[in-house]
Amino acid sequence: MTAKKSKATLILHSGDFDKVYSALIIGNGALSMGMDCSIYFTFWGLERLKKGGLEKGKLSKMNMLGLGKAMMKKLMKKANVAPLEQLLADYKELGGKILACDMTMGVMGITKEQLRDDVINDYCAVGTYIKEAKESEITLFI
Amino acid sequence: MPETIRVDCRGENCPRPLIETRKAINKAKAGDTIEVVGTHPSSKKEIPLAVEGMGLKLLGVSGSDTDWKITIRK
C-alpha cells in the first residue's frame, strides 16, 4: 500500500438500533476505503457493548413499542442488509478499534464483566478521543 | 506465482461488497489479481474509489449497474 493511512474517529453516543447501524456501516466503509477507524462507545451507545446487547436498541423514530423496529428488521432482511453482529465481526476483522468510555461505566454502574471484552480494544476517556480526533480526517458524533 | 482471488458478493447490500473486497485485498499478495462480482449499484462506483484510495491498480470495470465485475491488481 502506497497511500498514507488516514483515519476516521466516531463517537457512538446513541444506543438506538438504526444509529448503531450508521456507526458500523461508516466504520466499515472507512476501513474498506483503506482508512483506520476507531469508534468510541459512550452513554447509551455503551449499552450496545453489553453481552447480548448489540441488537437490543430501539428504533430512533417510529419504534412503536418495538413494532416499527420489527418492521425495519424485516425490510432490512429483505434487502439483504447484514445483521449488526456481522458488521461488528467485519469491522473487527478489518482492524477497526472499539473503545469503551470508562466514565459512562462508572455513572451507569456497568462493569467490565458485563461488557464484551473480546471486541473492546481499550477503556478510556475524553482525552484519548481528542488525541485520536486531532489526527483524524473524519470525526462524527452519532 | 500471482494468483486470482475471486469475490462473489452478488445479492449483498451496502456496505458488504466493499468490506468483502477489502478483506480480499488484505489476503492478496503483491501482484495478485482480485476479481469481484456483484449486483449492488453504488458499490460499482465505490469499489474503484477504494482501490484508488489505497493506491492499487484498477484493471477493469464491466457489466451493468446491477450485474458488474471489477478487477483489481494488488
Q: Is B43 on the interface with A (CB under 8 A)?
A: no
Q: What is the CATH number of domain A7-141?
A: 3.40.1260.10
As annotated, the active-site residues of B are: 14
Q: Is B15 on the interface with A (CB under 8 A)?
A: yes
The model's pLDDT over A16-68, given as tens digits with 9 standing for 90+, comes to 999 999 999 999 999 999 999 999 999 999 999 999 999 999 999 999 999 99
CA distance A57 to B34: 37
Cα torsion angle, A117, A95, A8, A25, sign: negative
Give the pLDDT of residue A1. 45
Terminal-to-terminal C-alpha distance of chain B: 13
Q: Cell match 469481484: residue?
A: B36
Give the pLDDT of residue A71. 95
The model's pLDDT over B14-71, given as tens digits with 9 standing for 90+, comes to 999 999 999 999 999 999 999 999 999 999 999 999 999 999 999 999 999 999 999 9
CA distance A22 to A27: 8
Which residue among A34, A80, A90 sits closest to B19, beta carbon to beta carbon? A90
Find chain A residues with C-beta within 8 A of B14's C-beta. 25, 81
Buried b (16+ CB within 10 A) or exposed e, A65-85: eeebbeebeeebeeeebbebe
Taking every pair of Cα atoms in chain B, the longest distance, rounded to a whole number of angstroms, is: 33
Indicate the pTM of the whole model.
0.92
